[in-house]
Amino acid sequence: MVEEKTDSLREHIIETADELYYGRGIQTVGMDALRDAAGVSLKRLYGLFPSKESIVLAVLEHRDRSWVNGLEGTVNAVDSPRERLLAIYDYLADWFEGDLFRGCGFINAFGELGAVSPAVAEAARKHKANFQRYVASLVKDAGGPPELAPQLAILAEGAQTTAAISGSSDAAGQARRAAEILIDSAA
């Protein structure tokens, strides 16, 4: 019972930190602001997370699970191997159209902390490498050449950055159309 409560509180803090960090930036949100938003004491917060970096890493783990679940859910809803590749950009389009879209949380975290936190830099690199492997597996399933995977992944990464900076979801559709050309030319 105590462990369940602790896990539930830990998850609540992670979700609160994610919302604050993603909306305002990691470095602008102090531990006092997180404590207040989460409704816990600073002692309890530090009892669950010994440092701000440990909270950031937990948030990135949480974001990775959300990303994988959302992306795979969209991709797995499609049968055709070609359309599964293109579903990546459909997922991005849905994400970009959300009111709270602020770009890729991993790119944001890397930009803020990558130079000073090797652990955050590694978490971002691991997330991006996993995405590359996932795209490579979809390309292989579609019978495409291996060099197609990094090309499609770069389109997705570029679309995320472009959408965040421009404030427009158009980048997902543009990336999808470019992906169609790449896929068709590789076939």
Q: Which structural domain, as residue segments, surrounds residue 134?
A: 57-186
In a domain, 176, yes or no: yes
Residue 99 DSSP symbol = T
Asked whether residue 41 is assigned to any structural domain, the reply reads no
Domain assignment present for 17: no
Whether the full predicted model's pTM is greater than 0.85, yes or no, is yes
Q: What is the CATH number of the domain that holds 174?
A: 1.10.357.10
Q: Total domain count for the chain? A: 1
Domain assignment of residue 16, yes or no: no
Contact 23, 102 (CB under 8 A): yes
Q: What is the structure's pLDDT at 116?
A: 95
2 falls in which pLDDT band (50, 70, 90)?
A: low
pLDDT tens by residue, 114-153: 999 999 999 999 999 999 999 999 999 999 999 999 999 9
CA distances from 85 to 152, 154, 178 (A): 8, 13, 12
> Once rounded to an integer, what is the mean pLDDT over residues 87-94?
97
Residue 40 falls inside a structural domain: no
